[in-house]
Amino acid sequence: MRLMKRDLSAVEHYRKSEKPSGYIGTVREPELIGTICAAVNPVTDNASIQLYGERIGRMVSVTVLKGTDIRAGDMLKISDVSYRVISSVQYSDHDILTAERIEDGYTS
């Protein structure tokens, strides 16, 4: 699948990392990994609709090039809206991620 330039959006990629707490132990905070170009579309496939039900209205499908290291649990920020990656399907030349909108920023 070829990603057309007109369909691409800038997407910020965050991953939680452990940092020393100012008090005791460590805390997990989101860390910016980088900005990627990806095609973002609403989720419309029948399997996802049956699997996620009414949650489907808060989900997007993100198509990225092969080799982009995005895992389930990572956060994507698209147009100042935060999404958590819940699944990834890998193909020969691209990956399709399903991400759900999260209301209160990046939580686990």
Q: Using one digit for the tens of pLDDT, what is the confidence trace for 55-83?
A: 999 999 999 988 889 999 999 999 889 99
Residue 32 predicted with pLDDT over 70: yes
Domain ranges of the chain: 5-101
For the domain made up of 5-101, give the CATH fold. Thrombin, subunit H (2.40.10)
Tell me the pTM: 0.83
Which amino acid makes up residue 12?
A: E
pLDDT tens-digit series, residues 87-97: 999 999 899 99
CA 73/CA 108 separation, integer angstroms: 7
Which amino acid makes up residue 46?
A: N
What kind and span of H or E run contains 48? helix 46-52
Residue 107 predicted with pLDDT over 90: no
Q: Which two tokens stand for residue 98?
A: 């399903």
pLDDT tens-digit series, residues 40-58: 999 988 888 898 888 999 9
